């Protein structure tokens, strides 16, 4: 399906990018006064790291424009935009293309992950980005977020049921109805559904904290070895399911496992801290990934990512402030593909 010139499809994140979109929208109301400066520094570090490999466009709350300029200078394009928060992966659009070279955005109707957080300004970010990118905007008939979607660019997707099939997003919508709409929007032919988990984090278990495609047929998956963690049972089940799954071509998936750190730096550790390596971001020529101060698992994650992405530089950065808010590097970014 995805090879037909007149059909929109979502490319693999590892394909060529025109740019990365981000949002400098952290506030003391959501993040607290202690965490806010660290989150803002983390956003700048992520943006400046990516900017070494491709252009970065950062939408910025007008009152934060001066601070953003101080942190990033002229290396990142700064664009005024009303914002509630920082999660461009979810608030921004999903870019789709055709084989013919057309490009559009899909607006996924962001509703604050089931109205868990103020979202009325962030609900307009997808349309704002589409306008700035000068591309057509397609409105989805579902409520979902980019962090819940993982594709290989060739017709296969991995999606967590806990997000899309959740009454707080799509009440009364069946899995079959979801599949039809996702296939229409993203050029998919096969969806591998993982159960995910509801209620443990604000996203209800986004895919990009559990499984990511390195390339067609190869999936990188997270594993939490701590039996006391709610994610231990979830990640164990996901690994079993992924190892038994096939993609649209009928290939059994090769699963590369990234083990979560056994400890993190104490400065910003809290109950919401998202300590996993799966939330990396693939940009032109590089993989931007987190490190948490655990020498063994930090090194193992870098080693496995280098093997999975042999043509790219793996760059690990400290993003503890973002992690303390329950997110990661991937959550703060959205790729615009080059056509």
- The Cα 147–Cα 85 span in angstroms is 15
Decide if 47 is inside a domain.
Answer: yes
Structural domains of the chain, count: 1
Distance from C-alpha of 110 to C-alpha of 223, rounded to nearest angstrom:
28
Burial class (CB in 10 A: 0-12, 13-18, 19+), 265: middle
CA separation for the pair 298, 289 (Å, rounded)? 10
Over residues 238-254, the mean pLDDT reads 98
What's the pLDDT band for 297 if we cut at 50, 70, 90?
Answer: very high
- On whether the CB atoms of residues 178 and 148 are closer than 8 A, the answer is no
Catalytic (active site) residue 178: no
pLDDT band at 313 (very low <50, low <70, confident <90, very high): very high
| 302-322: average pLDDT | 98
Average pLDDT, the chain: 96
Q: Is residue 280 part of a domain?
A: yes
pLDDT-derived band at 3, boundaries 50, 70, 90 = very low
Please report how many Cα atoms fall inside a 13 Å half-sphere around the Cα of residue 243, on the Cβ side. Answer: 9
* Separation between Cα atoms, residue 95 and residue 74, nearest integer Å: 25
> Sign of the C-alpha dihedral, residues 185, 187, 193, 196?
negative
Q: What is the pLDDT of residues 207-238, one digit of tens each?
A: 999 999 999 999 999 999 999 999 999 999 99
Q: Residue 264's Cα: distance from chain center in Å? A: 21
Count Cβ atoms below 10 Å from residue 286 Cβ, excluding itself.
Answer: 20
In a domain, 214, yes or no: yes
Task: Give a yes or no: residue 89 inside a domain.
Answer: yes
Measured from the Cβ of residue 184, the count of other Cβ atoms closer than 10 Å reads 15
The pLDDT of residue 66: 98
What percentage of the chain exceeds 70 in pLDDT?
99
Length of the chain: 339
pLDDT digits 0-9 by tens, 149-182: 999 999 999 999 999 999 999 999 999 999 999 9
10: in domain: no
pTM of the model: 0.97
Over 60: is that where the pLDDT of 42 sits?
yes
Q: Does residue 337 have a pLDDT over 80?
A: yes
On whether residue 35 sits in a domain, the answer given is yes
- Assigned domain for 51 exists: yes
Non-local (6+) Cβ contacts of 95 within 8 A are 10, 11, 103, 104, 105, 106, 133, 135, 334, 335, 336, 337
What is the arithmetic mean of pLDDT over 312-318?
A: 98
Q: What average pLDDT score do residues 331-335 get?
A: 98
By C-alpha distance, which of 183, 184, 106, 178 is closest to 146? 106
Alpha-carbon gap, residue 126 to 140, rounded angstroms:
12
State the residue range of the domain holding 79: 17-337
127: domain CATH number is 3.75.10.10
| Structure-block tokens of residue 317 | 């950065």
The pLDDT confidence band at residue 6, using thresholds 50, 70 and 90, is confident
Strand order in the sheet with 211-215: 211-215, 218-223, 254-259
Give Cα 94 distance to the centre of its chain: 10
**Between vectors from CA 136 to CA 135 and to CA 140, what angle results, nearest 5°?**
130
Residue 6 lies in a domain: no
**29: exposed, middle or buried (C-beta count within 10 Å: 0-12, 13-18, 19+)?**
exposed
Tens of pLDDT, residues 60-119: 999 999 999 999 999 999 999 999 999 999 999 999 999 999 999 999 999 999 999 999
- Residue 5 confidence (pLDDT) above 70: no
DSSP 3-state of 139? strand
Element (H, E) at 36: helix 36-50
pLDDT of 268 reads 96
């Amino acid at each position: 399906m995805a090879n037909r010139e007149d059909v929109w499809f979502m490319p693999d994140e590892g394909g060529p990018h025109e740019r990365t979109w981000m949002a400098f929208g952290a506030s003391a109301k959501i993040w607290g006064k202690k965490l806010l400066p660290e989150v803002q520094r983390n956003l700048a570090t992520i943006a400046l790291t990516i900017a070494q490999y491709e252009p970065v466009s950062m939408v910025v709350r007008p009152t934060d424009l001066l601070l953003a300029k101080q942190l990033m200078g002229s290396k990142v394009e700064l664009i005024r935009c009303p914002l509630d928060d920082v999660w461009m992966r979810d608030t921004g659009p999903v870019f789709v293309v055709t084989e013919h070279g057309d490009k559009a955005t899909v607006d996924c109707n962001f509703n604050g992950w089931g109205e868990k957080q103020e979202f009325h300004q962030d609900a307009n970010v997808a349309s704002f980005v589409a306008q700035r990118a000068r591309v057509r905007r397609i409105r989805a008939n579902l409520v979902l977020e980019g962090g819940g979607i993982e594709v290989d660019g060739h017709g296969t997707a991995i999606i967590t049921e806990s997000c899309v099939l959740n009454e707080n997003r799509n009440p009364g919508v069946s899995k079959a109805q979801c599949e039809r709409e996702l296939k229409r929007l993203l050029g998919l032919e096969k969806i591998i559904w993982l159960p995910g988990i509801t209620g443990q984090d604000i996203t209800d278990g986004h895919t990009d904290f559990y499984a990511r495609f390195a390339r067609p047929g190869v999936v990188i998956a997270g594993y939490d070895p701590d039996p006391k963690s709610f994610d231990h049972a979830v990640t164990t089940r996901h690994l079993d399911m992924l190892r038994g799954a096939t993609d649209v071509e009928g290939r059994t998936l090769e699963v590369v496992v990234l083990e979560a750190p056994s400890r993190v730096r104490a400065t910003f550790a809290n109950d919401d801290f998202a300590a996993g390596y799966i939330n990396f971001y693939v940009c032109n020529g590089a993989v931007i990934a987190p490190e948490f101060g655990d020498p063994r698992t930090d090194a193992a994650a870098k080693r496995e990512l280098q093997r999975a992405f042999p043509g790219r530089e793996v760059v690990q950065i400290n993003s503890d402030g973002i992690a303390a808010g329950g997110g990661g590097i991937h959550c703060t970014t959205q790729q615009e593909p080059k056509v």
